[in-house]
């Protein structure tokens, strides 16, 4: 780990202290991206990021509709101190192409035991597990941001060293029907050049968000 990376991770920890919405990214364990996110207004986000991120839908069904295929995950790192479970994951399409990086903190004790077991098994996306076990929930995006590509994101998204695209993401809370938080997640999407044809976009209208 370079001195610059250590410095950026320390800065990221300070950002998370000031803005807890980014805590899942700072707490996710080894190998997290070290670039500092910059919060932006949802209306300033370019397409196709805006359609995918600036709404109150879960990302898993959003991305399945967008890419037109099932998704699976690879767990990059995890920390389990029951009832909290933190992990970094890559969501991959049916061709094993990366479609999202996620750092998530899950409150396992608020889920049925079979769902907890599947989460710890680490094969299915969190949103897919919630749908399978019919867990009533809703998404509450709390921030949208841009982030510059660092070495970690370049490796995870297979970005060439000569390219340094700006990436976009969101902070989201997944809450139970009674309002209790079920998970907090930071989601980052790959470069738009890797997205398939826009005909796969969800048909649900985008719901604009305003952020500080």
CATH number of the domain located at residue range(s) 3-200 in this protein? 3.40.1410.10
pLDDT surpasses 90 at 84: yes
What's the confidence (pLDDT) of residue 207? 39
What residue segments make up the domains of the chain, in order of their start? 3-200
Q: How far apart are CA 110 and CA 180, in angstroms?
A: 9
% pLDDT > 90, the chain: 67
Task: Please provide the average confidence, as pLDDT, over all residues in the chain.
Answer: 85
Question: Which of 79, 96, 95 minimizes the C-alpha distance to 87?
Answer: 79
Q: How far apart are CA 184 and CA 21, in angstroms?
A: 8
Tell me if 156 sits within 8 A of 101, measured CB to CB. Answer: yes
pTM of the model: 0.85
């Amino acid at each position: 780990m370079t001195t610059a990376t250590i410095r950026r991770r320390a800065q990221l920890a300070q950002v998370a202290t000031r803005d807890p919405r980014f805590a899942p990214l700072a707490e996710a364990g080894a190998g997290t991206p070290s670039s500092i996110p910059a919060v932006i207004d949802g209306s300033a986000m370019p397409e196709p990021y805006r359609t995918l991120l600036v709404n109150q839908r879960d990302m898993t069904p959003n991305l399945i509709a967008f890419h037109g295929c099932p998704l699976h995950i690879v767990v990059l790192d995890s920390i389990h101190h029951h009832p909290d479970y933190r992990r970094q994951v890559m969501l991959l399409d049916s061709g094993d192409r990366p479609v999202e990086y996620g750092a998530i903190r899950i409150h396992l004790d608020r889920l049925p035991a079979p769902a907890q077991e599947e989460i710890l098994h680490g094969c299915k996306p969190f949103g897919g597990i919630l749908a399978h076990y019919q867990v009533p929930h809703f998404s509450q995006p709390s921030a949208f941001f841009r982030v510059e590509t660092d070495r970690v994101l370049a490796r995870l998204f297979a970005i060439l060293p000569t390219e340094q695209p700006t990436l976009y993401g969101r902070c989201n809370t997944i809450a139970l029907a009674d309002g209790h938080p079920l998970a907090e997640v930071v989601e980052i999407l790959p470069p738009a050049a890797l997205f398939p044809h826009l005909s796969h976009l969800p048909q649900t209208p985008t719901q604009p968000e305003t952020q500080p």
